[in-house]
Amino acid sequence: MQRSAFLNALSSTALAGIPSLVGAQTLTRIRIATAPDADVVAALWGVQSGAFAQSGLDVTIQPANSGAAVAAAVAGGSLEIGKSSLVSLLAARSRGLPFVLVAAAAIFDAGHPDSGMIVAKGSPLKRPRDLSGKTVSVQSLNDLNAVAMSAWVDADGGDSKTVKFVEIPAAAATQAVASGRIDGSTLSMIFCSQAVAGGTCRLLGHPFEAIAKRFVYSGFFCTADFASKNETALEAFRRVMAQTGAYALAHRSETAPLVAKFTGLDEKTIVSVPVEVATKLDLKLIQPLIDKAITYKLIPNDFDLRAMIDP
């Protein structure tokens, strides 16, 4: 589908019911930040195609070094929307930060996993429980990867309490594993594939499967204050994201250059290791993550997911 055809289709569906924004003389500014991940593709296409602008939104997207930096910027008002791992977002909400979930970003599906754990090619590690007592990297302590690896080790009869987690950016984790500085790292399959193809690492498995065979793991969020004052703009944002997400799923080759430019990753690898973009916010697909976050004491037992969903 060409860009013009996509916008024509968008006009007849996603823009219905939001005339106040479409007819506005000035666009509503929405600044988004995210770690350079492939699951931002729907938002990137929304900007590139002009879909956000056609919906009355002036959206810009910038890369950030970490989810913590994104959360701080959103909380401080220098960004309107952030994208984050849901584990980090749930934990922040449980600590009293007034974040609400606007839209889902990506879904893990064991049938075509988009994340995995690498170890050095000559590593003696053979299965999850072998990670007991070892050192592994995460992008942020107590993040999604840490929860997944802990659950993976414990489910295989190991002891996740003995695993040492250290913070290393994804781009540097492969070299840290290959050099033996750490024993393993859970990364996007894009990074895993590059590491394996380079001959220095091998894939140990897919820790996310210990959470569920299928679940939402990342999302877009804002503050409750911004949500209450910008209901129409956020409704337009969600409508466009549903359309651009569906488009990205069906046109991976067309949208891959956008992801490659934003993330710095190889375009061919992006196409070969597709991320499943979420096109709607399904609470049932978030619940498995809630359960594991409670198990590993990142959020309280009575955590109320519905209270943090922007209506």
Find the range with the poorest average confidence among 1-15, 118-132, 135-149, 286-300. 1-15
Closest CA to 124 of 112, 133, 113, 137: 133
Are 156 and 197 in the same domain?
Answer: yes
The residue out of 210, 225, 243 marking a domain boundary is 210
Task: Evaluate if residue 165 carries a pLDDT over 90.
Answer: yes
Q: Is residue 227 part of a domain?
A: yes
The predicted structure's pLDDT at residue 66: 77
Predicted confidence at residue 195, as pLDDT, reads 92
- Domain co-membership, 78 together with 103: yes
Query: Average pLDDT of 157-163?
Result: 98
Of 162, 189, 210, the residue that ends a domain is 210
- pLDDT at residue 32 in the model: 97
Say what the pLDDT of residue 272 is.
Answer: 82
Residues 102 and 221 in one domain: yes
Residues 91, 15: one domain?
A: yes
Evaluate whether 68 touches 140 at the Cβ level (below 8 Å). yes
149-158, 165-174, 232-241, range with the lowest pLDDT: 165-174
pLDDT for residue 227 = 96
- 228 and 86 housed in the same domain: yes
Whether pTM > 0.85 for this model: the answer is yes
Would you say residue 136 lies in a domain? Answer: yes
Q: Is residue 288 part of a domain?
A: no
Q: Are residues 244 and 274 in the same domain?
A: yes
Do residue 70 and residue 164 come from a single domain?
Answer: no
For 118, counting Cβ atoms within 10 Å of its Cβ (0-12 exposed, 13-18 middle, 19+ buried), the class is buried
pLDDT of residue 1: 52
- Between 23 and 257, the higher pLDDT residue: 257
155 and 82, same domain (yes or no): no
pLDDT cut 90: percent of the chain above it = 74
**Domain total of the chain:** 2
State the pLDDT at residue 37. Answer: 86
Inside any domain, residue 83? yes
Distance CA 231, CA 281 (A): 17
Task: Give the per-residue pLDDT at 271.
Answer: 85
What is residue 291's predicted lDDT score, i.e. its pLDDT?
A: 96
190, pLDDT greater than 70: yes
Domain CATH for 92: 3.40.190.10
Q: What is the mean pLDDT of residues 28-53?
A: 94
pLDDT, tens only, 196-244? 999 999 999 999 999 999 999 999 999 999 999 999 999 999 999 999 9
pLDDT at 15: 47
Least confidently predicted of 17-31, 71-85, 151-165, 288-302? 17-31
Range of the domain at 164: 115-210
- Return the pLDDT at 69: 86
Are residues 263 and 206 both part of a single domain?
no
Residue 305 falls inside a structural domain: no
Q: Are residues 22 and 168 in the same domain?
A: no
* 12 and 161 housed in the same domain: no
Rounding to the nearest 10 degrees, give the CA dihedral for residues 255, 260, 266, 272: -30
Helix (H), strand (E) at residue 144: helix 144-155
Question: Is residue 185 included in any domain, yes or no?
Answer: yes
Mean confidence (pLDDT) of the chain: 90
pLDDT band at 17 (very low <50, low <70, confident <90, very high): very low
> Does residue 80 share a domain with residue 27?
yes
In a domain, 298, yes or no: no
pLDDT confidence of residue 269 = 80
Q: Which of 152, 186, 210 is the endpoint of a domain? A: 210
Residue of 269, 262, 309 lying closest to 40 (CA atoms): 262
pLDDT at residue 170 in the model: 85
pLDDT (0 to 100) of residue 179? 96
Residue 232, phi then psi, degrees to nearest 5: -65, -40
Q: What is the pLDDT of residues 246-303, one digit of tens each?
A: 999 999 889 999 999 998 888 888 888 778 889 888 999 999 999 999 999 999 999 9
